[in-house]
Amino acid sequence: MLDRILAADSLQSLDSVRVALLGKSGEITAKLKSLGGMDAETRAAEAPKIHALRGRVTDAIAGRKAELESAELERKLATEKVDLSLPAPDSISGTVHPVSQVMDELAEIFADLGFSVAEGPEIETQWYNFTALNMPENHPARAMQDTFYLEPRAPGDEPYVLRTHTSPVQIRALEVHGAPIYTIAPGRVYRSDSDATHTPMFHQVEGLVLDRNITLGHLKWTLETFLKAFFERDDLVLRMRPSYFPFTEPSAEVDVGWSMEKGRRVVGGSEGWMEVLGSGMVHPRVIANAGLDPDEWQGFAFGCGIDRLAMLKYGMDDLRAFFDGDIRWLKHYGFKALDVPTLSGGVGA
């Protein structure tokens, strides 16, 4: 029996052997059925032998099946090829997530303004996430209900955090590159919050400019240029309101005008105001914490939610759907792989 199993040279022939041995009318099945007609003494002697045989046969079939499947996989890997230069059929093609698309749009717009793109770790020290950004020990953002803390890496160590914003990247970029610097920092951030407009993990982009003789006027022009290019609306009106952020002084919330089109609120026009981002002039302490002289270098910073920008531009109304992985939602709101944002062709692709 074992020789017949080893001689099987395909999964189909192996299955035929399995049926012949273990099927309803198989040889071993017949032996098992014969136990009922034996006397007690004979059954006690023969039953262990038949059950042991069935176990050896079952194991042998499983082992041979694994060998044949491995050989078949090796054959396919060696012979089958896919021409990746050919376009995929619409039935199997995926889509680019709106968040990824908006990140590409932001990179395209700010690259045209002379900005680089910086990245940093998502697991951050409290120094970079809070202290270097002028957030004192008693700042509300450090509270457990707002921030995800990790277990200390060693007894007595300060716990790391999942970064609550991409502002730590600014400090890291200044330490590495110094000034002058013009950069944006898009990426994932984490906060303990969840509803239709907030999720525990979301995406944010920070912008930083540090140079000599930078003023609030440079900030306003940069934001106006960015928002008009992103929303592709020349009638976009911008308003700056005094606010407070520990890492900027003075600080300003930035609102844009909106109007109703086809029963939906869209950016552009002047029927009302909606907040889109926060901004301000970089606090001198933040500049000093990065190892630079605040008397020589001045600059501005701004930050906004990438998911919120996508919602405003492309008409989504629930942030949680961004992370559900629903293929129907992705097919509806997703972008084709070749819809690459360009300023000449329109960043909205």
Would the pLDDT of 187 be above 50? yes
CATH number 3.30.930.10 is the correct assignment for the domain at 98-333: yes
Give the pLDDT mean for 131-149. Answer: 76
Out of 81-95, 133-147, 182-196, 298-312, give the one with best mean pLDDT.
Answer: 298-312
Would the pLDDT of 191 be above 50? yes
Residues 6+ apart with CB under 8 A from 112: 229, 343
**Amino acid at residue number 24:** K
Band of residue 349 on the pLDDT scale cut at 50, 70, 90? very low
Would the pLDDT of 141 be above 90? no
- The 10s digit of each residue's pLDDT in 316-331 is 878 888 888 888 888 8
Give the pLDDT mean for 246-261. Answer: 90
- Burial level of 295, CB count in 10 A (0-12/13-18/19+)? exposed
pLDDT more than 90, % of the chain: 40
Identify the pLDDT of residue 144: 55
Would the pLDDT of 145 be above 60? no
Band of residue 70 on the pLDDT scale cut at 50, 70, 90? very high
Phi, psi of 95 (to 5 degrees): -130, 155
Q: Tell me the whole-structure pTM to 2 decimals.
A: 0.68
Identify the pLDDT of residue 255: 92
- The 10s digit of each residue's pLDDT in 33-48 is 888 888 888 888 888 8
Give the pLDDT mean for 201-220. Answer: 93
Identify the pLDDT of residue 341: 76
Would the pLDDT of 157 be above 60? yes
Calculate the alpha carbon distances from 216 to 48, 89, 113, 244, 251 in Å: 89, 51, 17, 15, 10
Identify the pLDDT of residue 207: 95
Q: Which of 26-35, 124-133, 142-151, 290-299 has the lowest mean pLDDT?
A: 142-151
Would the pLDDT of 345 be above 80? no
The more confidently predicted of residues 87 and 6 is 6
